[in-house]
Amino acid sequence: MIELILYSAFILLLVRHRFFWVARHRKISPKNSPLIMAHRGLKTNSPENTISSYKEAITAGFDALELDILQTKDGELICSHNFDLERESNGVGWAQHTDYNKLKDIQTGVYTHPQNTQTIARLQDVLDEIPKNIFLNIEIKTHSLFDLSASKTLGRLFKRSGIQHSFMVSSFNPVVVAYFRLFFPNISIGYILQNISWLWTTHWLHPDYLHPRADLIDNELLEMSQNHSLSLNLWTVNTIPALEWCIQNHISGIISDNPKAIHV
């Protein structure tokens, strides 16, 4: 009899967790309009994910930045979208297999901005140089499903009060989302969705925000987010009609490459 009661209680808890959850209320903007985040900084004149591109976005009027981080072999958090150094820089090999002292002198943007290449920024450099009133959406990149190296380092930085900015953490990796949701309840976490077939995991992870690719949005997804009080931050929204649609539909945040986005 006791076993039956315990089993029934377990099933009820699972059902409640899956179907009757509500996202924590974490408003990222004091305004009623969406928070517009510069996607990897503003890349008109500067390579992406560099301090130059972040400052360029702030000069253009953005008050929020989306930036990518990953961890080097020696535990340094750097701002980069790719582990493959040859994709963006004149470096060779993989960032996760390289110490930072071997990366600090290479140049990024060699293909996109050959006349204005930049050094690879550490996250600490960004935190030191970017004004504290700028909101940061820190996306954690991972090289495998269970890669929590950058997550643990960022968590330690947060515990040392090393992040004075208002910020959130986001990731495509559901394990990273679960890690922050369980062990760092004071950090807001966004789950990035590239494929709608992975939407079901949202009901088990319970992120504070869902970050779907903009073209995944439909009435069903909007209704789901409303039912669970789950705020949406869309990427990457660049056209003016799409930006206007986001505003009309009360989207929480917009990640954009378009410098005109802040004027819509």
pLDDT in tens, 77-88: 999 999 999 999
Query: What is the rounded distance in angstroms from the CA atom of residue 252 to the CA atom of residue 37?
Result: 11
pLDDT in tens, 18-37: 999 999 988 787 777 899 99
* pTM across the whole model: 0.96
The answer on pLDDT for 89 being more than 80 is yes
What 3-state class would DSSP assign to 211?
strand
The answer on pLDDT for 1 being more than 90 is no
All structural domains of the chain with their residue ranges: 32-263
The answer on pLDDT for 243 being more than 90 is yes
Phi and psi torsions of 179, nearest 5°: -60, -50
Query: What is the rounded distance in angstroms from the CA atom of residue 81 to the CA atom of residue 101?
Result: 19
Give, in order, the Cα–Cα distances in Å from 83 to each of 60, 108, 134, 143, 178. 29, 12, 26, 8, 22
Classify residue 12 by burial, with Cβ atoms within 10 Å: 0-12, 13-18, 19+: exposed
- Residue 25 is predicted with a pLDDT of 85
Class of domain 32-263: alpha beta
pLDDT in tens, 153-194: 999 999 998 899 999 999 999 999 999 999 999 999 999 999
